[in-house]
Amino acid sequence: MSSVERARKAAQELDHLSGFGNEHSSEAVPGALPLGRNSPQRAPLGLYAEQVSGSAFTEPRAHNRRSWLYRVRPSAAHPRFVRTDNGALASAPFTDAVPDPNRLRWNPPPAPPPGTDFLSGLWTLGGNGDPTQRTGMAIHLYTANVPMADRVFSDADGELLIVPQQGGLLLRTEFGLLRVEPGSVALLPRGVRFRVEPLEADVRGYVCENYGRPFQLPDLGPIGANGLANARDFLAPVAAYEEAEGPVEVVNKYCGNLWSATYDHSPLDVVAWHGNHLPYVYDLHRFNVLGSISYDHPDPSLFTVLTAPSDTPGLAGVDFVVFAPRWLVGEDTFRPPYFHRNVMSEYMGLIEGAYDAKAEGFVPGGGSLHNMMSAHGPDRDTFERASTAELVPQKVDDGLAFMFETRWPVLTSTQAMNSECLQRGYDEVWQGLERHFRS
Ligand SMILES: O=C(O)Cc1cc(O)ccc1O
Ligand SMILES: [Fe+2]
């Protein structure tokens, strides 16, 4: 059986627990989860009890995150970590390239060399903040063609939002198995170990690494009690454990660098768990898209799936925003995204199809970066078409795009600026916007 077939078989008919932020619990072996206490004198079945904290012990209850794991071996039983090659994975602060105010757009990354797994295929585009301060974010692309064999990854620097664009992934995590396909996203909390196995021969996608406060569902304000991403559509795994004895490399991203230690067993050996510091998958097609039913184009904050707050209310370290299929009915309205300059910085990617502000050039697997205050919006062809279109109700259902929007400018890596994929003539899409003014 090939590795893809093995991964597909393992990814079949997975059970889940539904609900974002819930106190979930799961046991792969009946009786493995202690009842009524977290840390009994002897944990059931000879397991070790261990807490993993995603928030300070003392954070308000509404933000407090931790899980209790009942595992074959405690995580503490490991040898020394030593530095290993970061490859094309980089971290903030990005000081090597000069901050560039230009609008930037990239073609999709080329297929990676044979033998590239998710971790070795991570390629950093840029970011902001500082993982040692637990602020900001980084944007990475991934390409892979082999499973992470005998190795697992954990990121002490932040949580990872994985947005597949081509091919699905099986994620084997400490909490159990998740399957994520293009059109769905996976959220892996800070510090949780996982292994990635491609469900197709060649996979690729995007990763938002959130150094800051964890993603949460946005408040709904006047929208009411329901809408946008509904909490119950976020699916956590059920417990599943590996008993493999033998060398497993654990790669830990810590303060910007990769560190490696070889354990004599798999650390994905959690037999039962409970808590709220958990991985999830979410199907973007479940997003309840709300919009204007009168006039004008609402700001895209209305499409926020998840928001990672910063210390300033309303200013997100990063928002994850989706442009999902929807109806446009606005009367006397320029319906595609408007021309604008935004104090927030916008990285956009395309999962499939086309995006309604760009007639061409913004392609699946590619990305665009419209940094703090850079002028952008519909390209020339889109402007001409939309300003004369007949305003009948229109279904926009030929694409799925997303945005990582952050309060700080995204500084790009040198490799992103020197990349063959960088489109040199992007400014031209706004050339030829004719003067129509008549006094
Ligand atoms: O630039 C973009 O395409 C993203 C975007 C979409 C939108 O509908 C309104 C504003 C905005 O920045
Ligand atoms: Fe924008």
Architecture of the CATH domain 3-284? Sandwich (2.60)
> Is residue 346 lining ligand 1, measured as CB closer than 6 Å?
yes
The region, left, alpha or beta by phi > 0 then psi within -120 to 50, assigned to residue 19 is left
The catalytic position among 63, 140, 297, 370 is: 297
Give the confidence band of 304 by pLDDT, cuts at 50, 70, 90.
very high
241 is in an annotated binding site: no
Q: Which residues contact 342 (CB under 8 A, 6 or more apart)?
A: 370, 372, 373
Q: How confident is the model at residue 356 (pLDDT cuts 50, 70, 90)?
A: confident
Q: How does the average pLDDT of the chain come out, rounded?
A: 97
pLDDT tens digits for range 191-223: 999 999 999 999 999 999 999 999 999 999 999
Q: Which among 296, 297, 299 is the best mutation to test ligand 1's pocket, defined by most ligand atoms within 8 Å of the CB?
A: 299
Q: Which atom from ligand 1 is nearest to the alpha carbon of 403?
A: 4
DSSP state of 372: T
Residues contacting residue 236 through CB under 8 Å, at least 6 positions apart: 16, 17, 18, 19, 22, 24, 175, 176, 278, 279, 280
Helix %, strand %, coil % for the chain, to 5? Answer: 10, 40, 50
- Does 300 contact ligand 1 (Cβ within 6 A)? yes
| Mean predicted confidence (pLDDT) in 8-19 | 96
201: which 2 tokens?
Answer: 């021969």
- Whether the pLDDT of residue 117 is over 90: the answer is yes
For residue 245, what pLDDT band results from cuts at 50, 70 and 90? confident
Structure-block tokens of residue 102: 């230009």
Is position 297 annotated as part of the catalytic site? yes
Q: Is pLDDT at 357 greater than 90 in this prediction?
A: no
**What tens digit of pLDDT does each residue of 253-303 get?**
999 999 999 999 999 999 999 999 999 999 999 999 999 999 999 999 999
Ligand 1 close to Cβ of residue 340 (< 6 A): yes
399 touches ligand 1 (CB under 6 Å): no
Q: Tell me, what amino acid is at 383?
A: F
Distance, CA 227 to ligand 2 centroid (Å)? 23
pTM score: 0.98
Span from the CA of 361 to the centroid of ligand 1 (angstroms): 16
Q: Does residue 205 line the site of ligand 1, with CB under 6 A? A: no
* Helix and strand element counts for the chain (H, E): 3, 28
Amino acid in the structure at residue 310: S
Is ligand 1 within 6 A of the CB of residue 349?
no
Q: Which ligand is nearest to the CA of 337?
A: 1
The pair of three-digit structure tokens given for residue 45, joined into one six-digit string: 């079945």
pLDDT at 244 exceeding the cut of 90: no
pLDDT in tens, 164-178: 999 999 999 999 999
Q: Which of 103, 323, 362 to mutate to test the pocket of ligand 1 (most atoms within 8 A of CB)?
A: 323
Atom of ligand 1 nearest to the CA of 336: 8
Q: In whole angstroms, what is the distance from residue 336 CA to residue 355 CA?
A: 9
CB of 337 shorter than 6 A to ligand 1: yes
What tokens appear for 366 in the block?
A: 């590619």
Strand partners, 130: 135
DSSP 109: P
- Any known ligand binding at 346? yes
Domain 285-424: what homologous superfamily? Answer: Jelly Rolls (2.60.120.10)
Which numbered atom of ligand 1 lies nearest the CA of 358? 3
Q: How far is the CA of 214 from the centre of ligand 2 (A)?
A: 24
- Any idea what DSSP says for residue 358? B
Residues of the chain with CATH 2.60.120.10: 3-284, 285-424
Nearest CA to ligand 1 atom 8: 337
Tell me the ligand closest to 299's alpha carbon. Answer: 1
Q: How, if at all, do strands 245-254 and 151-155 pair?
A: parallel
E runs forming strands in 220-344: 234-237, 245-254, 257-265, 270-275, 280-283, 304-309, 316-323, 326-328
Q: Are 29 and 271 in contact (CB under 8 A)?
A: yes
Tens-place pLDDT, residues 152-163: 999 999 999 999
Burial pattern 183-213, b for ≥16 Cβ within 10 A else e, equals: bbbbbbbbbbbbbbbbbbeebbbbbbbbbbb
- Provide the residue count of the chain: 439
Share of the chain above pLDDT 70, in %: 100
The whole-angstrom separation of Cα 352 and Cα 326 is 15
Residue pair 411/99 in contact by the 8 Å Cβ criterion: yes
Is the pLDDT assigned to residue 79 strictly greater than 90? yes
Residue type at 98 in one-letter notation = V
On the question of pLDDT at 97 being above 90, the answer is no
ipTM: 0.98
Mutate to test the pocket of ligand 1, among 346, 348, 404 (most ligand atoms within 8 A of CB): 346
Cα(197)–Cα(191) distance, rounded to whole angstroms? 19
Residue 138 has pLDDT above 90, yes or no: yes
List the one residue out of 238, 216, 214, 240 whose CA is nearest residue 229: 216
- C-alpha span between 168 and 178 (Å, rounded): 11
> Residue type at 439?
S
Rounded-to-integer distance, Cα 436 and Cα 431, Å: 14
Nearest-angstrom CA–CA distance, 142 and 163? 10
Contact in structure between 74 and 270 (CB atoms under 8 Å): no
Ligand nearest to the CA of 292: 1
**Per-residue pLDDT tens over the stretch 374-413:** 999 999 999 999 999 999 999 999 999 999 999 999 999 9
Instruction: Tell me whether residue 256 is exposed, middle or buried, using C-beta atoms within 10 angstroms of its C-beta: 0 to 12, 13 to 18, 19 or more.
Output: middle
298 CB-contact burial (10 Å; exposed 0-12 / middle 13-18 / buried 19+): exposed
What are the distances in angstroms from CA 97 to CA 91, 256, 382?
A: 13, 17, 32
What is the number of the ligand 1 atom nearest to the C-alpha of 357?
3
Sheet of strand 257-265, all strands in order from the earlier edge strand to the far edge: 82-84, 257-265, 245-254, 151-155, 194-198, 169-173, 176-180
